[in-house]
Structure 1
């Protein structure tokens, strides 16, 4: 776009300067010639009126001059000046026999050297200022030594014409530059549209929409790139689907032995007092690992369900009631505080997914961040804002985006003991509801997870 604009500006500037130079020079020369011809014609008419028709003169001897013409009887210079035809001259002045005769204008406004040259027999013209106005002064000898005729012609109309021409050329140059910028913008948009589509589809794939494809496979320029990208995206989609099926199959297969182990562990823990002291600690460690194993299997099932294309089902839910039930159940106590204005907010949601979002955040705070300090529901943002506060050391700024990735654990914040899937599931489910999630610092210390969802009042 900048290149088109600079090219248009350069061409229009060169064209404007050339046009200005040619036209202004032409108009000025035409005006000067017209003034000169008019002044010469008036001088000839004045000479005829003063002296009559010219008489032929052939001296009888060499170095003998013809007699000087004399004024006609009954003729005065002012009468002849008055009889001159009307022209555009602003002033006419006659210098005759060392006397000035003028209808308008002051001889004192004429340059002295111009007067001397005209009296000496040399015609001239010059641009001067009279009363603050530009005029063209023209001096013509009368043909009799010592006599001269002067006129000045106004140049205001010429200057106004040139000024209008200058402004017009500047406006045309500016308009041409803007048109060049617009054409450049249009050309760049057309040229880069396929790349913009590629960037958009690539971003969609990166956000998990693996079925996104480029429609430009038949484009003569980008067809090969589009086909390669679509093939890569299709292979990725198949690989992710296969991995999801594998994770789901493995998780389903693990559920039966896991339930057996959990039931057995529960039975052992019910008889914990009967166990020898040396066995109790290993049993407790085994119980903790089995609980982590259970959560891992549940998370893998959840991830595989999403990756496998589970679209879920939407229904109208009261957000305050759902958050209160899920958060209090996950924490084992009342931790939810709902703003009065948020009590009536509803959302087209998948209850299972939304409950899992709240439960995961509360469990994450309980197990890895010193306990849940509170869950808040208020109006704002996209419609409703849900906050989950914990009592941990907080999350480092460099970890705040990474913790929402799969197996991305905040090592610097003391959250490294988790399997790294809970927050990834939270982010996926929030995105499924067209919401956003981010983490900040809680006033007083700890982390605050902030969820915004597009809710409305029922």
Structure 2
């Protein structure tokens, strides 16, 4: 776009400069020629009025020794000046027999060197200013040495014409540059439209919309790229779907033996007092690992359900009530604080998914970060802001994106005990609700998870 605009500006500027130079020179030359012709004609009329028919010069005589014309008797120069035809001259002055005769204008306004040049027998013209107005002063000899006729012609009309021409050329150059910018923008838009579409579809695939495809396979320039991209996206979609089915199938297959092991462990723990002391600690460790195994299977089922295209169901949910119930139940105590302006906020949500978001964040704080310090609900952001504070060491800045990846654990956050799917599920469910989640540092220490959802007042 800039290239088109600059090219148009350069071309229009060059054309404007050339046009200005040619036209202004032509008009100035025409004006000078016209003024000199008019003054010369008037000088010729004065010459005949003053001297009658000039005395012919004998060619055999030395140049400069020809007889000078003799003044006609009874003719007054002022009468002759009054009898001159009307022209655009603003002043007419005659220097005759060492006297000045003038209808208008003052001889003192004429440059002395211009007067002398005319008195020396040469036709002369020059642009001067008289009373602040530009004029063209012209001097023409009238026949005898040291006698000449002078006129000045106003140049205001010519200057106005040249000013209008200059403004027109400048406006044309600017307009041409703007047209060039518009054409460049149109051309770049048309040329880059397939790439913009590619960027949009690639971004959609990166955000998890694996069924996004390019519609430019018939484009002669980008058809090959579009087909390759679509094939890659389709292969990725099939691979993710296969992995999701595999994870779901494995999780389902694990549920039955897992339930058997959990029931057996519960039975053993119920008779813990009857176990030998040497067996109690291994049984407790086994119970903890079975609990982690249970959570892993549940999380895998959740992830596979999302990857498998589960669209869920939306219903109007009162956010404050849902957060209060899910957070307090997970923590086993009251940890939720709801601001008054957030009590009436509602959201079209999947209740199961939203409850899982709150439960996972509180469970993460309880199990891996020294306990949940509180859950807050307030109006703001996209509509409602939900915060979950913990008492842990906080999360380093370089880990704040990694912890939301599958099986991602912060290397410096002290959260290595989790299975690494809980926060990934949280991020997926928040995105499903068109919200955002981020991690900051809680005032006083620890981490603060901030969830923003597009809620509105009921």
Task: Give the TM-score band, short-chain normalised.
Answer: over 0.9
> Structure 2: where are the runs of 5+ without partners?
none
Q: Does 1:223 align with 2:205?
A: no
Maintained 8 Å contact 1:362/1:388: yes
Q: Does 1:333 align with 2:333?
A: yes
Alignment of 1:46-57 (within 5 A): 46-52=46-52, 54-55=53-54, 57=56
1:134 Cα deviation (Å)?
1.5
Counterpart Cα distance in 2 of 1:444 and 1:370: 14
Counterpart Cα distance in 1 of 2:205 and 2:59: 114
Maintained 8 Å contact 2:377/2:385: yes
2:301 corresponds to: 301
Counterpart Cα distance in 1 of 2:222 and 2:347: 42
2:73 corresponds to: 73
Q: Does 1:385 align with 2:351?
A: no
Counterpart Cα distance in 1 of 2:20 and 2:58: 54
1:134 corresponds to: 134
2:286 corresponds to: 286
Maintained 8 Å contact 1:328/1:334: yes
Compared CA separation, residues 356 and 59, structure 1 to 2 (3 A): closer
SS in structure 2 opposite 1:413? Answer: coil
2:348 corresponds to: 348
1:109 corresponds to: 109
1:382 Cα deviation (Å)?
1.2
Counterpart Cα distance in 1 of 2:70 and 2:159: 42
1:214 corresponds to: 214
1:415 corresponds to: 415
SS in structure 2 opposite 1:424? Answer: helix
Maintained 8 Å contact 1:59/1:65: no
1:71 Cα deviation (Å)?
3.1
Compared CA separation, residues 290 and 177, structure 1 to 2 (3 A): same
Counterpart Cα distance in 1 of 2:408 and 2:35: 90
1:73 Cα deviation (Å)?
3.1
399-408 or 202-211, which deviates more: 399-408
2:238 corresponds to: 238
TM-score by length of 1: 0.97
Compared CA separation, residues 308 and 51, structure 1 to 2 (3 A): same
1:410 Cα deviation (Å)?
1.1
Aligned length: 457
Counterpart Cα distance in 2 of 1:415 and 1:167: 72
For 1:289-316, what per-residue CA distance to the aligned partner results, in whole angstroms no more than 9, with x for missing partners?
Answer: 1111111100000000000000011111
TM-score by length of 2: 0.97
For 1:378-431, what per-residue CA distance to the aligned partner results, in whole angstroms no more than 9, with x for missing partners?
Answer: 111111111111111111111111111111111211112211111111111111
Counterpart Cα distance in 2 of 1:213 and 1:14: 48
Alignment of 1:259-274 (within 5 A): 259-274=259-274
Counterpart Cα distance in 2 of 1:242 and 1:8: 56
SS in structure 2 opposite 1:103? Answer: strand
Maintained 8 Å contact 2:248/2:300: yes
1:199 Cα deviation (Å)?
0.6
Counterpart Cα distance in 1 of 2:339 and 2:22: 78
For 1:181-231, what per-residue CA distance to the aligned partner results, in whole angstroms no more than 9, with x for missing partners?
Answer: 121111111111111110110010010001101111111111111111111
2:179 corresponds to: 179
